[in-house]
Amino acid sequence: MANCITRHIPNTVTCCNLFCGCIASIMGFQAKYEMAILFIILGAVFDFFDGMLARLFHVSGPLGKELDSLADDITFGFAPSVIVYSLFKEVQYPDILTPFTEYIPYTAFIIAVFSALRLGKFNIDTRQSTSFIGMPTPANALFWGSLVVGGHDFLVSESFNAIYLLILVLIMSYLLVAEIPMFSLKFKNLTWSDNKISYIFLLVCIPLLIFLQISGFAAIILWYIFLSAITKKKV
């Protein structure tokens, strides 16, 4: 009886991640950005624990792997796409894009497409057991959520417009599938020599969060990308 229950716990947690992603998407469509990022973060918590529980109960299997990828694409791919879709409806449009105002918001879903590609590559890429190749989807989702919540006033001001947002969408989507090694924050031990990149990363994160608050998460993702790029030979 106990084994029957425990073997379903990891997939149940994964389904909780999927549920959070669905709620985050609804919040995104309603431009309730704070609630959207809250459910994305909650989904990330469930995503962290499902794999841990699968290893703990020794119930890893192909179903869990496929379900995890599906849940991740909703929570960390589709949900941030919806957030950006709603933002596109609020930002300023230069005169050259005025005829396309109705259609440009749909380009936000490029994020969901490339997130799916990223997750598919991860599932079959044996190089990504201890680090990542390309930006992880949770990092991308956190970037968009925190950017829109923390920088909303600037993003909808005359200092910013749809062209800049579209360029940002294309860049971040490319980084999901780019052949750029990115370090993992998994600690095998606590020594400086084995984890100095992670320690440097975390030390810089603290002032970013203190001074930038919610927008600090977006800055942290950019810092993560930059640090990964300059240390890629060491990853």
C-beta separation of 45 from 103 below 8 A? no
Q: What is the pTM of this model?
A: 0.89
Query: The domain spanning residue 170 has which CATH number?
Result: 1.20.120.1760
Give the range of the structural domain holding residue 171, as residue numbers without chain letter: 2-182
- Rounded CA separation 121/128 (Å): 10
Give domain status of residue 216, yes or no. no
Residue 78 included in any domain? yes
| 221, part of any domain | no
Ordered per-residue pLDDT tens for the chain, 235 residues: 546 667 778 889 999 999 999 999 999 999 999 999 999 999 999 998 877 777 776 677 777 778 989 999 999 999 999 999 999 999 999 999 999 999 999 999 999 999 999 998 888 777 766 678 889 999 999 999 999 999 999 999 999 999 999 999 999 999 999 988 888 776 666 777 778 888 899 999 999 999 999 999 999 999 999 998 888 654 4
How many domains does one find in the chain? Answer: 1
Does residue 203 form part of some domain? no
Task: Please check whether residue 208 lies inside any domain of the structure.
Answer: no
Q: Is residue 223 part of a domain?
A: no
Q: Is residue 116 part of a domain?
A: yes
Give the pLDDT score at 4: 60
51 within a domain of the structure (yes/no): yes
Query: How many angstroms from the chain centroid is the CA of residue 12?
Result: 21
Cβ atoms within 10 Å, residue 93: 15
Phi and psi at residue 158, to the nearest 5°: -75, -10
Give, rounded to a whole angstrom, the gap between the first and last alpha carbons of the chain. 44
Mapped onto helix, strand or coil, the DSSP state of residue 133 is strand
